């Protein structure tokens, strides 16, 4: 009996890894056009370093790259280049933990002019810190890479915009990057004080007096913010050793369950009530619906600079499955995937 189950399990594993491997190779992307700086842009190449990685007049953007979200990442990159006045001044910092050469080739083929650097992320240490959440996609170690940016990127990079892979920009990222951080804050992000903050932590967290006091003496009211769009002062982060603080909360979570979501709650524990708020237009989040079913969602009222399909439903999957939500049509123009039966011209 046990033996049969083992065999079945092996067959299943074989089958699933094989489908994973073939989908990797079948995703073929188009080449994006070259985008040029407008005349008012500073020329970052005129600085004496030919290497842009450290340019202090560049706009630095960090994202993760992995095989399952690469289609989203490609669309995000394209949308950034299309809506900025100085596309040649954007330097991308990609964090990857696997399939580095395939992903590098994919980026290089579609964006031959892109200024970027790839950083390998060793997901072993963080894997041991992850406790299962309500949605398995949130439990991949790469989802935690945002916690380690200050350690992964070279010291010369002092400020970065971190972006998830399931979003597109429809405004100039240089505006977001230029957000001035108030003197005591480490990061800037849109915050949502109407969301019921209690729900992000478990009853055992709130009923423990020493834990629930965590949010007591914050400069401002502790509010929810989404970690998919953040402007981070890496210098202050490094100085305050915030990676360690977040890791300590993750270690506690392994011992007693204090929250249900993935990488978000430790950020809230450390930073909520201590961030520089950014206009909501820079993270119109939740378009992927909830974490269970991924139903269609509408935009929040107000202007839009960034659309974010956080939640279970991703626009590429819904478009492929012919069950697109109305707003998924806004993502489609940035899709670089070659359609399999399209005629080559």
Ligand X SMILES: *[C@@H]1O[C@H](CO)[C@@H](O)[C@H](O)[C@H]1NC(C)=O
Which residues sit at the interface with ligand X, rule CB under 6 A?
A: 51, 53-54, 100, 104-105, 108, 112, 117-118, 154, 196, 198-199
> Do 328 and 62 form a contact (C-beta atoms < 8 A)?
no
CB of 120 to ligand X, least distance (A): 7
* Residue among 164, 152, 187 at smallest CA distance from 80: 164
Cβ proximity to ligand X: between 108 and 122 the closer is: 108
Measured from the Cβ of residue 203, the count of other Cβ atoms closer than 10 Å reads 10
Cβ proximity to ligand X: between 264 and 307 the closer is: 264
CB of 114 to ligand X, least distance (A): 10
CB of 57 to ligand X, least distance (A): 15
CB of 313 to ligand X, least distance (A): 25
> Do 262 and 232 form a contact (C-beta atoms < 8 A)?
no
CB of 4 to ligand X, least distance (A): 43
H-helix segments, the chain: 2-26, 70-83, 100-110, 124-127, 149-152, 173-177, 203-206, 209-212, 234-240, 242-255, 264-271, 315-320, 328-331
Cβ proximity to ligand X: between 54 and 304 the closer is: 54
CB of 300 to ligand X, least distance (A): 19
CA separation for the pair 323, 296 (Å, rounded): 10
Cβ proximity to ligand X: between 47 and 104 the closer is: 104
Q: Give the three-state DSSP class for 283.
A: coil
Q: Give the three-state DSSP class for 343.
A: coil
DSSP codes, 56-115:
TTSEEEEEE--GGGHHHHHHHHHHHHHH-S-GGGEEEEEEESS-HHHHHHHHHHH-TT-E
Cβ proximity to ligand X: between 111 and 309 the closer is: 111
CB of 24 to ligand X, least distance (A): 16
Cβ proximity to ligand X: between 110 and 179 the closer is: 110
* Residue among 164, 161, 187 at smallest CA distance from 175: 161
Cβ proximity to ligand X: between 38 and 108 the closer is: 108
Measured from the Cβ of residue 87, the count of other Cβ atoms closer than 10 Å reads 23
CB of 170 to ligand X, least distance (A): 28
Cβ proximity to ligand X: between 120 and 128 the closer is: 120
DSSP codes, 284-297:
B--TT--SSS----
């Amino acid at each position: 009996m046990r033996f049969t189950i083992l065999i079945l399990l092996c067959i299943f594993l074989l089958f699933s890894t094989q489908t994973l491997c073939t989908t990797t190779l079948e995703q073929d992307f188009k080449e994006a056009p070259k985008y040029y700086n407008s005349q008012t842009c500073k020329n970052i190449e005129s600085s004496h370093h030919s290497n842009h990685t450290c340019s202090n007049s560049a706009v630095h953007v960090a994202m993760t790259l992995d095989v399952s979200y690469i289609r989203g990442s490609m669309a995000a990159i394209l949308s950034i280049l299309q809506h900025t006045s100085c596309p040649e001044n954007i330097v991308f910092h990609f964090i990857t933990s696997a399939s580095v050469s395939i992903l590098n080739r994919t980026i290089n083929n579609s964006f031959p002019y892109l200024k970027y650097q790839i950083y390998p992320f060793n997901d072993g240490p963080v894997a041991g810190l992850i406790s299962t959440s309500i949605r398995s996609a949130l439990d991949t170690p790469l989802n935690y890479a945002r916690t380690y940016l200050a350690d992964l990127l070279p010291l010369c990079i002092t400020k970065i915009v971190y972006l998830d892979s399931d979003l597109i920009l429809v405004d100039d990222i240089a505006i977001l990057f230029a957000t001035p951080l108030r003197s005591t804050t480490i990061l800037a992000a849109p915050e949502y004080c109407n969301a019921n903050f209690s729900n992000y932590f478990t009853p055992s967290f709130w009923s423990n007096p020493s834990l629930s006091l965590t949010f007591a003496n914050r400069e401002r009211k502790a509010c929810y913010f989404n970690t998919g769009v953040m402007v981070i002062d890496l210098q202050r982060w490094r100085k305050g050793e915030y990676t360690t603080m977040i890791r300590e909360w993750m270690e506690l979570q392994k011992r007693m369950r204090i929250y249900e979501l993935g990488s978000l709650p430790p950020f809230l524990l450390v930073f909520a009530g201590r961030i520089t708020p950014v206009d909501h237009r820079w993270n119109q989040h939740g378009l992927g619906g909830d974490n269970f079913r991924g139903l269609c969602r509408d935009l929040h009222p107000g202007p839009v600079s960034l659309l974010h399909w956080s939640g279970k439903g991703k626009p590429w999957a819904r478009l492929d499955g012919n069950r697109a939500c109305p707003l998924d049509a806004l993502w489609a123009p940035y899709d670089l995937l070659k359609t399999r039966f399209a005629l080559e011209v």
